[in-house]
A and B are shown apart, each in its own frame.
Chain A
Amino acid sequence: MEDHELNRLLNRLIEGTINPQDFARVQQMMRQDPAVRAEYYELLGVDQMLSERYEVPDYISVHAKTADDHWVVERSHRKLYIRSAWAAAAVLVLSCAGLFFFNRGGNDAKLVSSMDSNYLVNGEERAVSALNMNEVLDVKGGVVALDIGPYVEACVEGPAKVKLLAHKGKLELLVGYIYLQIAPGGRGFEVHTPAGIIRNIGTKFGVSVMKDGTVETHVTSGIVEIERASGEARQRVAAGSGATWKKTGTIKTHRNASERYVQSLPWDETLYQDDFNQPEGTSFADKKPGIGNPWKVEFELNPTTVTNGRLDTSRGPRTLIAKFKEEQNSGSRRVYMAGFSTHVPGNIWDKAGYHDAAERITFNAKGGGPLFSLVARKSRGHHWQLKNERDGTHSVGTRISALQAHQLTLTYDTGTGQVNLYEGAGTKGIFIDQLKIEPGLPMDSLTISNAEGGDVAIDDLSIKVATYSQNGNQSAKD
């Protein structure tokens, strides 16, 4: 390709005006020719430096448009870079400080979510600390707690959808489970459902709306009043009782079963954390992580050491065990969350020659051996897949390679036995795979191993657990 043609295509690429056919050509050339990549970096650098030099930042451009062109440009030459950097830092620090200090007033409901939660606000994935009137909160998983004014606390367990109907006194439950605790000042708070209104008369109660429109309420203390339709006689449900009804038909009363509702945010704890920030060459044998028990090397042909600030299994097969910090024994429902990043291992160039190569991260049940694994095999292009170690079944699998840089998050819910895998940090990442395994088994360690020429490089490993005080709607399903 002629130089000027390549220059034209690269310019279009950096301006964002390249068409898909030309992009495919450029990408192909970049793959094959380091000189093309170098030209791309340099041209992008020219554009970046010219932007730094001549672009006027937003905060002065409004005034500058009416001023003398050269004066503004000359002045911005000298100070722009410094200003931009300080402005960026100031915005960042103020934003962070804002998160801590300024999100406390002015919104209709304060929102706090559990570690394992995943939710949308008005259909968008947003990390928010408040919910406003008419906004729909769609909790996909985990728990979200809402403080609605000074008197009302609502705990929404996913999957559920709620909407604030008024600044303080009304909430609509579209589907799912919600538990409310209302202080005396919040008397009259209303929960709207597809089959009528539930009005609080100073109490603690749960409400659930099923997909078929059935509504249930379970009252722990105080009294609630059901107003199914305007003009229809209101029915009261007192502490210790519950009621089930639809838009039509009778309202059936029964025993209270408020243990079906998650009544508070689960308790989060970090059981293991290692960022491998030790000096190069530090041995993994009894190496102490930030949190958790020292690493145990079960098998290695040569010493496993910290490499580039990571755990890299390159240069031979290994089996390493990370034992978590001791957890209190209890039968409570827990959601374990493992987070880590993978990177290109040191031995990347030999992978074509090993046909049975495998990388594996196995999660072990407390005193009960392997529970499930994240496995990547050469036969599947080293793409991660979940495996139930009890019955040998596998998940559909992912397109995420164990040999490349990715951030992964994995959860195991002991209430349901559901294992979910996400790409990204936390459950707000992209959901990429799942597997159902035996429920009710707490975990106490993980094993990282490679075999037959497989290799994995891991960084920022953490294991957290969210302990639920109630099993929530998971018990209703079982």
Chain B
Amino acid sequence: MDRKDDSLEEFVHELTRCQGDLFYFIRALCGDPHAAADIRQAVNMVLWRKREKFRPGTSFKNWAFRIAQLEVMTYLRRKKKERTVNFDADLLECFASEMPSVIDELPERRLALAECLKKLTPKDDELIRHHYWSGGSLEALARATERSVGTLKARLFQLRGNLRRCIKVQLSPRES
């Protein structure tokens, strides 16, 4: 295999590996999971087109985030009239500079989350699983458990908040 093939292989490897982080980054900037999926696709195409500019050994993720930031800004500007949620440019800049270090902590956060999920009651565990399994709908669970969708939604919000705090405690036990 020659050097060009090696570079392409490394490029595909890096591109594959950063998909989750890239989605998280884009989602934080645009504040919309559906738009984030479209933007990530556009970013992937730009990365592929510019693949020859990627220098093995440099940070692929930083490069991808830089391109993603520009794509998000272009997208938001294009969709400005259609969207009610649009972070202003200064805040986007701020997110873009702060998010990479948050994303770097994701592996530790995944481990911490696994520990925190063990502490959930069976009912709360069922609510979380159902919500993510069904792609966001809580109607079936509301019917099955004779609770209102509003009640379940409020509990889900609390649970996310609790899990966030639990992860924080797991990652800095001394501070807690």
Q: Which A residues lie at the B interface, using CB under 8 A?
A: 3-4, 7-8, 11, 13-16, 18-20, 23, 27, 30-31, 34, 37-56, 69, 73, 81, 84-86, 88-89, 92-93, 95-96, 275, 277, 341, 343-344, 401, 404-407, 423-425, 429-430, 459-460
- Main secondary structure, interface of A, reads helix
Q: Is B58 part of the binding interface, using a Cβ–Cβ cutoff of 8 Å?
A: yes
Residues of B within 8 A of A73 (CB): 129, 133
- In B94-112, the 8 Å CB interface with A consists of 94-96, 98-99, 102, 106, 109-110
Q: Is B143 part of the binding interface, using a Cβ–Cβ cutoff of 8 Å?
A: no
A-B contact pairs, 18 of them (CB 8 A): A11-B157, A13-B31, A18-B85, A30-B91, A42-B167, A46-B113, A49-B109, A50-B163, A53-B113, A54-B129, A85-B16, A85-B17, A89-B16, A96-B45, A405-B69, A405-B96, A423-B77, A430-B74
Q: A4-B161, A405-B93 are in contact. Are A41 and B48 (CB under 8 A)?
A: no
Q: A45-B102, A277-B58 are in contact. Are A20 and B84 (CB under 8 A)?
A: yes
A41, A43, A95, A460: residue with the most chain B Cβ atoms closer than 10 Å: A41
Residues of A within 8 A of B78 (CB): 430
Closest to B72 in A: A405
Query: In the complex, how many angstroms separate the beta carbon of A67 from the nearest chain B beta carbon?
Result: 12
Query: In the complex, how many angstroms separate the beta carbon of B146 from the nearest chain A beta carbon?
Result: 19
Query: In the complex, how many angstroms separate the beta carbon of B59 from the nearest chain A beta carbon?
Result: 10
Shortest 7 CB-CB contacts between residues of A and residues of B = A54-B132, A89-B16, A7-B161, A11-B157, A407-B70, A88-B19, A41-B102
Q: Does B70 lie within 8 Å of A341, measured CB to CB?
A: yes
Q: A50-B128, A89-B16, A406-B73 are in contact. Are A344 and B160 (CB under 8 A)?
A: no
Query: In the complex, how many angstroms separate the beta carbon of B111 from the nearest chain A beta carbon?
Result: 10
Q: Does A52 lie within 8 Å of B20, measured CB to CB?
A: yes
Residues of A within 8 A of B113 (CB): 46, 49-50, 53
Q: Does A93 lie within 8 Å of B12, measured CB to CB?
A: yes
B34, B46, B94, B161: residue with the most chain A Cβ atoms closer than 10 Å: B161
Q: Does A27 lie within 8 Å of B70, measured CB to CB?
A: no
Q: Does B133 lie within 8 Å of A96, measured CB to CB?
A: no
CA distance A7 to B164 in the complex (A): 10
Q: A31-B90, A81-B20 are in contact. Are A405 and B128 (CB under 8 A)?
A: no
Residue from A15, A16, A44, A343 within 8 A of B24 (CB atoms): A44
Q: Mark B55-86, 1 if CB is under 8 A from A, else 0.
A: 10010000000100110011001100000110
Residue from A23, A49, A401 within 8 A of B84 (CB atoms): A23
Q: Does A44 lie within 8 Å of B27, measured CB to CB?
A: yes
Q: Does B33 lie within 8 Å of A55, measured CB to CB?
A: no
Query: In the complex, how many angstroms separate the beta carbon of A7 from the nearest chain B beta carbon?
Result: 4
Q: Is B44 part of the binding interface, using a Cβ–Cβ cutoff of 8 Å?
A: yes
Q: Does A48 lie within 8 Å of B24, measured CB to CB?
A: yes
CA distance A404 to B94 in the complex (A): 11
CA distance A89 to B11 in the complex (A): 11
Query: In the complex, how many angstroms separate the beta carbon of B98 from the nearest chain A beta carbon?
Result: 6
CA distance A49 to B91 in the complex (A): 24
Residues of A within 8 A of B96 (CB): 405
Q: Is B88 part of the binding interface, using a Cβ–Cβ cutoff of 8 Å?
A: yes
Residues of A within 8 A of B53 (CB): 275, 277, 460
Q: Mark B31-42, 1 if CB is under 8 A from A, else 0.
A: 111100000000
Residue from B44, B89, B135, B160 within 8 A of A404 (CB atoms): B89
Q: Does A31 lie within 8 Å of B91, measured CB to CB?
A: yes
Q: Does A92 lie within 8 Å of B77, measured CB to CB?
A: no
Q: A54-B128, A423-B77, A429-B74 are in contact. Are A85 and B158 (CB under 8 A)?
A: no
Residues of B within 8 A of A407 (CB): 70, 73-74
Q: Does A16 lie within 8 Å of B34, measured CB to CB?
A: yes
CA distance A423 to B72 in the complex (A): 12
Q: Does A37 lie within 8 Å of B98, measured CB to CB?
A: yes
Residues of B within 8 A of A13 (CB): 31, 85
Query: In the complex, how many angstroms separate the beta carbon of A113 from the nearest chain B beta carbon?
Result: 15
CA distance A69 to B133 in the complex (A): 9
Q: Does B20 lie within 8 Å of A84, measured CB to CB?
A: yes
Q: Does A46 lie within 8 Å of B110, measured CB to CB?
A: no
Q: Does B95 lie within 8 Å of A49, measured CB to CB?
A: no
CA distance A260 to B88 in the complex (A): 47
Residues of B within 8 A of A424 (CB): 74
Query: In the complex, how many angstroms separate the beta carbon of A304 from the nearest chain B beta carbon?
Result: 21
Residues of A within 8 A of B167 (CB): 42, 46
CA distance A56 to B134 in the complex (A): 9
B70, B135, B154: residue with the most chain A Cβ atoms closer than 10 Å: B70
Query: In the complex, how many angstroms separate the beta carbon of A132 from the nearest chain B beta carbon?
Result: 22
CA distance A14 to B70 in the complex (A): 21
Q: Mark B135-176, 1 if CB is under 8 A from A, else 0.
A: 110000000000000000010111011011001100000000
B15, B113, B129, B164: residue with the most chain A Cβ atoms closer than 10 Å: B164
Q: A16-B33, A92-B15 are in contact. Are A42 and B93 (CB under 8 A)?
A: no
Q: Does B164 lie within 8 Å of A42, measured CB to CB?
A: yes
Query: In the complex, how many angstroms separate the beta carbon of A402 from the nearest chain B beta carbon?
Result: 12
Residues of A within 8 A of B93 (CB): 344, 404-405
